[in-house]
Amino acid sequence: MPKICIALLVLLLTACSRGDGERLVITGSSTVAPLVNEMARRYAALQPGLRIEVQTGGSSRGISDARSGLADIGMVSRALRDDETDLLATPIARDGIALIVHADNPVAALSADEVRAIFTGQVNDWSAVGGAPGPITVINKAEGRSTLELFLAHFALDNPAIQADVVIGDNEQGIKTLVSDINAIAYVSIGSAEFAERRGEPLRRLPMGGVTAGIAQLRDGSFPLSRTLNLVTRADATVAVTAFLDYARSPAVHDLIEQQAFVPLP
Amino acid sequence: MRDAVFTTSLRATAGLSAALVVLIGVFLLMASWPALQQVGVLRWLTDDSWQPLSGQFLLWPMIAGSLLAALGAVLLALPLGLCSAVFCNFYAAPAVARPWRRTVELMAGIPSVVYGFWGLVVLVPWVRAVAPPGPSLLAATLVLALMILPTLAVSADAALAAVSGSLRQAGQALGLGRVSQITRIALPAARAGIVTGVLLSVARALGETMAVLMVAGNVVQVPSSVFEPVRVLTANIALEMAYAVGHHRSALFVSGLVLFALTVLLVLLAEWISRGRRPHVPV
């Protein structure tokens, strides 16, 4: 009996120990994660013995993990703030945030004032903004998410002022909630929205400031609500880390970036 | 010799389990401490709103949301669970009772995210048809009720099955009908077991995260009707923890601490009831 216990313990311990190869841990933004996942898969195929783990948890986690050394690389879906300059940012792609409605919603576009009125609860019915009568379901993001910060900054809104009917976590949950409600409005990453549309989800992106929320507009810089997707590292990054950063900036991954409906940087 | 080894290892594992629970409590307290120090005790109940990034830490609506959803779910599921247990023990032929029990146990094994997804695509549109927006306290309560129903049914079933045959025979000898036997003898005798099952179900409902996150709407407010969205403590942690740093993070640990305290209270209550109240024999 005790012998078996010891044998099991030894087995467990060896199973937990690391393999021989190099290991890269990348954590952070759930917007950037699917893209980095694809990059990592392709990169690992070129580098036998290298294991790359990609975990989500939001831009703040990407920053704090990169700082504390819990992760080798952090994923951040916004520009670095003034108090984050201790980290090095490597921009890898551009993304935009689009307002989305249900595909069967007849509203063609909303002005910035209408968006503000809807999200602050001054307008509660679609008929007031040129749609079919029906109570508007406002879908907002949970506190701390970079999509929320960008959205608030663009429309000069304050989170406490927003009268949300539903609060969601990641883009995917937002899309799932929106397509089940013809009267809902939400904002998600253009990449996630375009992906969902290709899957056949019934949703529609609204233009912003008269500009279509699409890839071409992101690329030529005309879309007003966009952001840079960054990988952040500490100043003392290892050779393996900088090699991966170089790969993520190279034309070899441009097709992956476009697949995810993001825009490669020149 | 073998006996001694066995006893020692049993004691060690039991001690380890107990130590782990204590450690979890200590860890939660330590992680919550910065926020508790900064915010004090009263402000969790009196602040204007939950905006940790703007220094507002109103936790009360989420405590209310958690308790309302969990207790509502038990109120809905308990009669159904009791009926199922009574049916199995007193009405069903063995050929029916066995597959019935297996089905209930199978229900208990369905992962919570499945319930949540079903709730989002089926239940929420139904609620919306009655009163928008759809994701609401009602939707959360209904999904939770479905999830704890198997637990309630199984525990009530076991409690009723454990009522001794001699009690039943005595009842029959007195010429009681089946309904009287159930209501006057079996249910009172099984009360302790049933109550314990109820408290464990409340604990499970309080701790459920994924399913509630998908259907409750997650707006921080004390709901004025069952059709309004609510946020529960677990969903608060799941939504914000990955994105929280500093005091925001610590404030989320306070939600965890409150949950932990609620669960400890429930377990103590269950213990007290199952120990303190012996099934009394009607004379």
Q: What would the pLDDT profile of A204-213 be if each residue is shown by its tens digit? A: 999 998 999 9
Q: pLDDT averaged over chain B? A: 89
| Interatomic CA distance for residues B194 and B192, integer angstroms | 5
Average pLDDT value for residue range B65-87: 94
Q: With an 8 Å Cβ cutoff, is A21 touching chain B?
A: no
pLDDT reported for residue A214: 84
Question: What pLDDT, in 10s, does the model give residues B178-191?
Answer: 888 888 888 888 88
| Interatomic CA distance for residues B227 and B216, integer angstroms | 10
Q: Residue B58: which of B225, B239, B220 has the closest Cα?
A: B220
- Residues of chain B neighbouring A167 (CB-CB closer than 8 A): 217-220, 229, 231, 239
Between B56, B219, B220, which is nearest A165 by CB? B219
pLDDT reported for residue A19: 46
pLDDT reported for residue B132: 82
For residues A187 and A98, the answer to whether their CB atoms sit within 8 Å is: yes
pLDDT reported for residue B278: 52
For residues B233 and B62, the answer to whether their CB atoms sit within 8 Å is: yes
Average pLDDT value for residue range B224-238: 94
Report the gap between the CA of B182 and the closest CA in chain A (Å). 45
User: Nearest residue of B to residue A55 by CA position?
Assistant: B242
- B108 by DSSP, 3-state: which? helix
Provide the 8-state DSSP code for B183: I
Average pLDDT value for residue range A172-199: 89
User: Nearest residue of B to residue A29 by CA position?
Assistant: B243
Residues forming beta bridges with residue A140, ordered by sequence position: A167
Question: In chain B, what percentage of residues exceed pLDDT 70?
Answer: 96
Q: How confident is the model at residue A17 (pLDDT cuts 50, 70, 90)?
A: very low
Inter-chain touch B125–A181, beta carbons under 8 Å: yes
Q: How confident is the model at residue A1 (pLDDT cuts 50, 70, 90)?
A: very low
Question: In chain B, what percentage of residues exceed pLDDT 90?
Answer: 54
Inter-chain touch B54–A61, beta carbons under 8 Å: no
Residue B107 φ/ψ, nearest 5 degrees = -55, -35
What b/e sequence results for B135-157 when a residue is b if at least 16 CB atoms lie within 10 Å of its CB, and e otherwise?
A: bbbbbbbbbbbbbbbbbbbbbbb
pLDDT reported for residue B183: 86
Q: How confident is the model at residue B53 (pLDDT cuts 50, 70, 90)?
A: confident
Cα distance between the two ends of chain B:
50
Inter-chain touch A160–B213, beta carbons under 8 Å: no
- Residues of chain A neighbouring B220 (CB-CB closer than 8 A): 167
Question: What pLDDT, in 10s, does the model give residues A71-125?
Answer: 999 999 888 889 999 999 999 999 889 999 999 999 999 999 999 999 999 999 9
pLDDT at A16 over 50: no
Sign of CA dihedral A174, A204, B118, A37: negative
- B229 by DSSP, 3-state: which? coil
Residues forming beta bridges with residue A203, ordered by sequence position: A102
Inter-chain touch B134–A181, beta carbons under 8 Å: yes
- Mark out chain B residues that contact chain A at CB-CB < 8 A: 2, 5-6, 9, 49, 51-54, 56, 120-121, 124-125, 128, 132-135, 213-214, 217-220, 229, 231, 238-240, 242-245, 248
- Residues of chain B neighbouring A5 (CB-CB closer than 8 A): 9
User: Nearest residue of A to residue B218 by CA position?
Assistant: A167
Inter-chain touch A166–B9, beta carbons under 8 Å: no
Give B249 or B62, the one with higher predicted confidence: B62
Q: With an 8 Å Cβ cutoff, is A133 touching chain B?
A: no
Average pLDDT value for residue range A60-78: 92
pLDDT reported for residue A93: 92
Average pLDDT value for residue range A130-151: 88
Residue A70 φ/ψ, nearest 5 degrees = -65, -30
pLDDT reported for residue A12: 47
Inter-chain touch B132–A159, beta carbons under 8 Å: no
For residues B215 and B128, the answer to whether their CB atoms sit within 8 Å is: no
Average pLDDT value for residue range B127-156: 92
> How far is C-alpha A194 from the chain's CA centre?
13
Helix (H) / strand (E) containing A90 = strand A88-102
pLDDT at B279 over 70: no
Inter-chain touch B218–A5, beta carbons under 8 Å: no
Residues 6 or more apart whose Cβ sits within 8 Å of residue A46 = none
